[in-house]
């Protein structure tokens, strides 16, 4: 649970510090839940020196960092089969963070860290991590045991 924006960023930063090349993170949650805020924390950990914002009209934004960050918001994709060459990103050397991932569910690798963000109050968020695959299970174990 987080009670402030800063806490969410801090948590995302801790997670971001443990990411590896090819990591895939999917984010679900209502509009304003904090998916983009969470992505900002990951970007900080990767030393991305541009401001990460909501890619309203852009589906994929690329940021250079210790690992490159591919921030996707597929909310505007009308067709779940629309393929924008996602595989290049999913199976590349960078980190993929995908907002509204369920829209392109069938194109995303099964092995990933899925994150649900639930709004519980004006500043309170419940963040649920659902690791799929041993790499992501280990990541979560390390994250919660430090
Ligand atoms: P999304 O990408 O899910 O639509 P954003 O990250 O763009 O959401 O927006 C989240 C909003 O919620 C921001 O205005 C942010 O300031 C606010 N907020 C309030 N409390 C929190 C919190 N604990 N964690 C994350 N965001 C929070
Ligand atoms: Mg967003």
Q: What is the pTM of this model?
A: 0.95
For residue 53, the CA-to-ligand 2 centroid distance in Å is: 8
| Residues in a beta bridge with 12 | none
Residues in the chain: 146
Rg (CA), the chain: 14
Q: Which residue has the tokens 């690798």?
A: 109
Dump pLDDT digits (tens) for 48-107: 999 998 866 778 899 999 999 999 998 887 766 677 788 899 999 999 999 998 888 888
Beta-carbon-side half-sphere exposure of residue 99 (alpha carbons within 13 Å)? 26
pLDDT averaged over the chain? 93
Check residue 99 and give its pLDDT.
94
- Judged by its nearest atom, the ligand closest to the C-alpha of residue 31 is 1
Question: CB–CB of 11/41 below 8 Å?
Answer: yes
Stretch among 33-37, 82-86, 118-122, 141-145 having the lowest mean pLDDT: 82-86
Residue minimizing CA distance to atom 6 of ligand 1: 34
Pocket mutation for ligand 1, best pick of 1, 5, 31 (most atoms within 8 Å of C-beta): 5
**Using alpha carbons only, what angle is made at residue 68 by residues 133 and 134, rounded to the nearest 5 degrees?**
10
Please tell me the distance from the alpha carbon of residue 103 to that of residue 78, in angstroms, as a whole number.
Answer: 9
Ligand 1 neighbours by CB, cut-off 6 Å:
2, 4-5, 7-8, 29, 31-37, 54, 99, 123, 125
8 A C-beta contact, residue 26 and residue 35 = no
């Amino acid at each position: 649970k987080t009670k402030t924006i800063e806490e969410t960023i801090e948590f995302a930063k801790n997670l971001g510090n443990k990411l590896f090349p090819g990591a895939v993170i999917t984010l679900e949650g209502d509009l304003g839940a904090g998916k983009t805020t969470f992505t900002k924390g990951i970007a900080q950990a990767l030393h991305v020196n541009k401001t990460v914002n909501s890619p309203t009209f852009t589906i994929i934004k690329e940021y250079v960092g210790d690992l490159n960050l591919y921030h996707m918001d597929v909310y505007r994709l009308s067709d779940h089969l629309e393929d924008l060459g996602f595989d290049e990103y999913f199976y590349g050397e960078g980190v993929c963070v995908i907002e509204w991932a369920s829209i392109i569910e069938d194109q995303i690798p099964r092995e990933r860290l899925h994150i649900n963000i639930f709004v519980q109050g004006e500043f309170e968020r419940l963040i649920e991590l659902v690791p799929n695959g041993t790499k992501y299970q280990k990541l979560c174990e390390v994250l919660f045991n430090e």
